[in-house]
Amino acid sequence: MQRKTLSEQLEDYESALKDYGLGYSSRLYAMRNVMSIIQRHREVGAKYLEGQIISDFLGKISERFYNGEIGKNQARNTRRMTERFVHFVQTGEVQLENMQKGSHIVLLPEFQRIADEFLASGDFHPNTRNDIRWVAHKYFDWLTSQGYRNLQGAGAEQIQKFLLDCSEKMAMGTVYDIKLYLTKLYAYFYKSGQSESSFHALLSFKVNRGTKVQPVLQKSEIAAMLGTIDRRTAAGKRAYAVMLLGIVLGLRACDIINLKRADIDWTLGEMKILQSKTARTVVLPLTKDVGEALKDYILNARRESEAPQIFLRLNGPIAPLTCAVTIAGIYRDCCVAAGLPVSRKFHTLRRSLGTSMLASGSPVTMVAQVLGHSDVDSTKKYIASDYERLKMCALPFDGITAEIGGAR
């Protein structure tokens, strides 16, 4: 049997994680951790998984932890994810503990029944189902610690105390998620007659998550990346089409690998895409440059296959891409060739498009429509990356004198 390359093993691993039942976010988290060991192999020019490189890598992780360069959680997660990937390569088996968040919490039978019925009541997206389960289990476990055996008597006061307890122990981003899913939980209780109120007004307050400003790419950097692609080869034709889909249309990596020939209406010049993350359909214009890149790949580089997906593997069995990390690898190779930081993610292209559109004067609502955002608040964060316009908002320091050591 032919030995599989690192890229092929990565694709097989993500496919196996998907079959195991992991949602997109969980798979992405796992693959990001695995990329550390892959990066180490590529640095030394290795195309296959090598035992000595793995051993040296794990030893380096321990060394960095003891030297204080990385934290305990980062060291533990990197080691754990690396060992799981190696186990898969060696045995073909996915070795994970129970991936259902919150399932390690043992609930009272009554609360477990309610949690199960709640999860069965809605068609929750796979990306959020585990988070919803975790919040429900966390809340019911907290109620139990307060002496409650069921929902009777649990109302506004208990909700407030639970959220206050969470805010003292958790990051505000986590508190935001808890508040969001607790709202869904009580909406279900009210609808099913298990609560006297949905407490919607109580749970309508805003939580400031404190998001940080993410980097974007300049036009010169994007041009440099595209200029590194050898469009004479099959790999180059595929890479060029993938990059343009991210640069021009802002598609996510998960939507690119799922892109089908039926999604493109060549006559009308548009693409209809069901977004994996939001389960919402967006209609985007098929621009001339994107259309030409797709045609070049499909007609001159794509391997013969009846698969509905457009993008296929370059080597090994003829099959559609199942691994978003393949798209990340294409982006990384372009970054390396253009001399750009490899720490940036493929999602940077999507962020750069949104920022560029806002900077050119496009309304927030239009940018939200193009990016497929259901809430314009998700789009407004790109304003923070429009550095030129932000400079216009800066106040001058005229008339302000700094005091140093009590002297002016």
Q: Is the pLDDT of residue 213 over 80?
A: no
Is the whole-model pTM more than 0.75? Answer: no
Residues 6 or more apart whose Cβ sits within 8 Å of residue 27: 14, 17, 18, 324
The predicted model gives 162-183 an average pLDDT of 89
| Least trusted range by pLDDT, from 119-133, 203-217, 365-379 | 365-379
Residue 65 pLDDT: 77
Residue 316 pLDDT: 76
- Give the CATH fold of the 109-204 domain: DNA polymerase; domain 1 (1.10.150)
The predicted model gives 87-110 an average pLDDT of 72
Q: Is the pLDDT of residue 27 over 90?
A: no
Q: Is the pLDDT of residue 260 over 50?
A: yes
Q: Which amino acid is at 61?
A: I
Residue 210 pLDDT: 61
The predicted model gives 364-387 an average pLDDT of 62
CB 355 within 8 A of CB 386: yes
Q: Write the pLDDT tens digit of every residue in 319-351.
A: 888 777 788 889 988 998 999 887 678 888 888
The predicted model gives 356-379 an average pLDDT of 68
Distance CA 384, CA 308 (A): 39
Q: Give the chain's mean pLDDT.
A: 82
| Least trusted range by pLDDT, from 40-44, 171-175, 267-271, 277-281 | 277-281
Segment (H or E) for 285: strand 281-285
Q: Is the dihedral of CA 288, 293, 299, 303 positive or negative?
A: negative
Band of pLDDT at residue 44, cut at 50, 70 and 90: confident
Q: Is the pLDDT of residue 356 over 80?
A: no
Q: Is the pLDDT of residue 355 over 80?
A: no
Q: Which amino acid is at 50?
A: E
Residue 369 pLDDT: 66
CB 341 within 8 A of CB 352: no
The predicted model gives 258-271 an average pLDDT of 93
Residue 351 pLDDT: 81
- Residues forming a β-bridge with 281: 274
For the beta sheet containing 264-265, the strands, ordered from the edge strand earlier in sequence to the opposite edge, are 264-265, 270-274, 281-285
Residue 29 pLDDT: 76
Q: Is the pLDDT of residue 291 over 80?
A: yes
Q: Is the pLDDT of residue 98 over 50?
A: no
Band of pLDDT at residue 99, cut at 50, 70 and 90: very low
Band of pLDDT at residue 76, cut at 50, 70 and 90: confident
Sequence spans of domains, the chain: 6-91, 109-204, 219-390
Closest CA to 382 of 399, 360, 401, 400: 360
- Give the CATH fold of the 219-390 domain: hpI Integrase; Chain A (1.10.443)
> One fold for both 109-204 and 219-390?
no
| Least trusted range by pLDDT, from 245-254, 331-340, 360-369 | 360-369
The predicted model gives 114-130 an average pLDDT of 79
- Distance between start and end Cα atoms, the chain: 78
